[in-house]
Chains A and B, each alone.
Chain A
Amino acid sequence: MAFLRNNFRLLRAARTAGLAGCFVLGACLSYGQTTNSCLDCHSAMPDPLGVTQEKFSQDIHSQKGLTCTSCHGGDASSYDPTVSMGTKAGFKGKIDRKQVPQLCASCHSNPTYMKQYNPSLRTDQLDQYHTSMHGKRQAAGDTKAAVCVDCHSVHDIRPPSDPRSTVNPVNIATTCSRCHSDAAYMKPYGIPTDQFANYKTSVHYQAMMVRGDLSAPTCTTCHGNHGATPPGVDKVQNVCANCHVFQAQMYGKSSHFKAFQSLGLPGCVVCHSNHGIHQPSDAMLGTGPQGVCMRCHQPGDKCDLARVKIQSGLMKLDSSITNADQTLSVAEASGMDVSEARLAQTQARDELIKARVTIHTYQEALVDQDVQAGLKIAAKDEQAGKDAMVERNQRRIGLGICFLAIAIMLAGLWLFIRKIEH
């Protein structure tokens, strides 16, 4: 009896284990195959209703486990449209543009909720948006004003760090230009539409797109992103100062700062322009087409005289550095080691850069200090190159003398061999 009882227990245990196994197997097989009736239907629909599984799987929200119903409501588990898109299931349908910022903010403005996905993500986007020109116009009922999905796209929203994202630094300017370069779209607002075209000619665009420097400025760097707005005439230097710290400090203490403020001129932009900021050159101090000083100053006035001296000082240093470089290159091509002078040349270049920055003080004496320091180094380097060439010539003279001595020795040996062999 005990034997039977024991065996019965074993059979029961085996049955329980078998059932548990079937359950686990079933769960495993069904994993990843949860019903999504939304995608099943909408993937077969044409745009704008079409959303494929492939597209939605690229979306950061999809990757974090959110589904269609998270934004649109409804019941994705049912294939009955009256259930899946029924009011009982809280189906919202297409989100009205006016509602988009609020809908996104329902999660993105909730620090507790967002912390579980990305603790470092800001949650003030909606507040920022309300301060932006887009937000203000949207609040005033302008349906053309940009909302979240206009910049971030919809159903395939990627994180900004993804190079395919519409808000990745390399794509931001293109994203903004979709509206801001569309003359017909922007017509009611009466603002220029050449910003993107100008930006593409700028040194900032070159840095971003050609050199691949993702820290280079794009639209949002100066205008802000969610709180995008023009910086304001009197605040331009604060925007530029984020990167160009020394220039801004010098400008802030200069005579130009006060003058520009009293005239209501937009600081840095007066000389450097805004979207189409080109690589600054010494020609900006000249009187040619690139010259900027004479747009305001009169020929022969005190400032014009200072301008001439500053420009000639910078050009002198630039040409001294170039001459020293050429002399050192000739010496290097002759095999001479001039690495020390080459290293010192970087200091001369630093002085030139420093002098070009010091221009923002608009004080001739201060610029001249840097120029003189650079000239001293460049002169020393050029002398090092010349000395190397003198040494190279001495080496060749020495070689000639050696050749002569060797020739005499060879002739002597040959004569001696002939003598002993005859």
Chain B
Amino acid sequence: MISAIYRWLDERLHLDDLIAPFRHKTVPVHRLTYWYFFGGITLFLFGVQVITGILLLLYYNAGANEAFESVQYIMTKVRYGWLIRSIHSWSANLMILTAFLHMFSVLFLKAYRKPREMTWISGMLLLFLVMGFGFSGYLLPWNTLAFFATKVGTAMVGQVPIVGQPMMVFLRGGPQVTGATLIRFFGFHVAVLPGLVGILIAVHLFMVQRLGMSVPPKIEAEWVENPSAKREMKFFPNFMLREMMAWYVAIGVLGALAAIFPWDLGVKADPFGSAPAGIKPEWYFLFMFQTLKLIPSKVWFVDGEVLGILGCGLAGLLWLLLPFFESEQPSRPKKWITGLGIFALMYVMGMSVYGFLAK
């Protein structure tokens, strides 16, 4: 039956020509192959986000007076609403986690080297956009924590010299975080960011498809020495089936988190109330938040916060351009980049833990 439908479609659309590259595509098999799965898992979780996000849109009302109540309605009255919202929230966090893991795995496996510089850049831009998804989506339930986190987050943007203030007003829809900010963030979250991410995912996947999977330099050298050790598997169906297994595991983890730890709604935001004591951002912004906290209020004659924000921005820009610092000789990769990667990983993890434990 399925093959009959496929034949019918193939006669008209020549699907075989489209699928042919996938049939010929291979994935290198070595001791680090499992790191290749994280990109696919991130993509799968993005798919979960799109589906659950569309379902949430059926009941969500953007607006300072309705947002909280509509999410509360989803959590308590809508059939399986709690499951959809909890999966959406947990999946968002897992997606950011797997995106970070994917980024660091690409870094340590040296997969960003020529000719994959643009794949790295598109991936990094996707990581930034995914964090933007997290920041904009966090405000949508309009609860106290989200309100004040947005207030702090957008105020940090306002610290950027020259363009900071206009950017902050643009993000907030005015000088303060209000219902206008919520509507704006809703727009970013469901229209602007999905559009940009969709385009970038297409570009990223196209380049992955075009350039194939990178083999780490060490393993490549081993294979040059001993060509018989070189092994590959077909992308379709062998790698794809394994990827599907990872997706099933991801579904299991998401289901368990949603059922055992449904995502909390908190208390409705009160713009006239005071910020809760010890307020912190979501875990993926914690390392930046803690860094800013540790910088003195004045460094020489420069405002500490401005310095911290500019420093974070510069670090992000350099990270984006990292492939261009790498040697073009595959046999002589620059070791300091690996060292920097280890330092960055340790720094992000250490600062996140410190930020989590700090009062």
Name A residues whose Cβ lies closer than 8 Å to a Cβ of B.
Answer: 335-337, 339-340, 395-396, 398-399, 402-403, 406, 409-410, 413-414, 416-417, 420-421
B237 at the binding interface (Cβ < 8 Å)? yes
Residue from B238, B255, B261, B264 with most neighbouring chain A CB atoms (10 Å): B255
Give the number of residues in B that approach A within 8 Å (Cβ atoms): 24
Q: A335-B260, A414-B245, A420-B237 are in contact. Are A403 and B76 (CB under 8 A)?
A: no
Binds A, one of B190-198, B246-254, B300-308, B334-342: B246-254
Which residues of chain B have C-beta atoms less than 8 A from A417's C-beta?
A: 238, 241-242
How distant is the Cα of A389 from the Cα of B238 in the complex, in angstroms?
44
A340 and B76 CA atoms in complex are apart in Å by 9
List A contacts of B264 (CB < 8 A): 335
What secondary structure prevails in chain A residues at the interface with B? Answer: helix
B261 near A337 (CB under 8 angstroms)? no
The answer to whether residues A396 and B260 also contact, given A420-B237, A420-B238, A421-B238 and a CB cut-off of 8 A, is yes
The answer to whether B259 touches A398 (Cβ under 8 A) is yes
Interchain CB contact (< 8 A) of B259 among A395, A413, A416: A395
Asked whether, in the complex, the Cβ of A409 is within 8 Å of the Cβ of B248, the reply is yes
28 chain-A/chain-B pairs, Cβ below 8 angstroms: A335-B260, A335-B261, A335-B262, A335-B264, A336-B262, A337-B72, A337-B75, A337-B76, A337-B82, A337-B262, A337-B265, A339-B72, A339-B265, A340-B76, A395-B83, A396-B259, A398-B259, A399-B255, A399-B259, A403-B252, A406-B248, A406-B249, A410-B245, A410-B248, A410-B249, A413-B244, A413-B248, A421-B238
Task: Output the nearest chain B residue to A394 by Cβ-Cβ distance.
Answer: B259
Segment 204-233 of B: residues with Cβ below 8 Å from A: 233
- B235-283, CB < 8 A from A: 237-238, 241-242, 244-245, 248-249, 251-252, 255-256, 259-262, 264-265
A335–B76 Cα gap in the complex (Å)?
12
Residues of chain B within 8 A (CB-CB) of A335 are 260-262, 264
How far in angstroms is the closest Cβ of chain A from B267?
9
Docked CA distance A395–B238 (Å): 34
A395 to chain B: which residues have CB within 8 Å?
A: 83, 259
A340 neighbours in B (Cβ, 8 Å) = 76
A409 to B249, CA, bound (A): 10
Contact partners of B265 in chain A: CB under 8 A? 337, 339
The 4 A-B residue pairs with the shortest CB-CB distance, nearest first, are A335-B262, A399-B259, A395-B259, A406-B252
Query: A414 CA to B75 CA in the complex, in Å?
Result: 36
A413 CB contact (under 8 Å) in B83, B241, B260, B261: B241
Could you tell me the distance in whole angstroms from the C-beta of B34 to the nearest C-beta in chain A?
14
Shortest distance from the beta carbon of A323 to any chain B beta carbon, whole Å: 22
* Nearest A-chain residue to B71, judged by Cβ: A337
**CA gap between A386 and B255 in the complex, in Å:** 23
The answer for the CA separation of A414 and B242 in the assembled complex, in Å, is 8
B37 to chain A, nearest CB (A): 14
* Shortest Cβ distance from residue B187 to the other chain A in the assembled complex, whole angstroms: 27
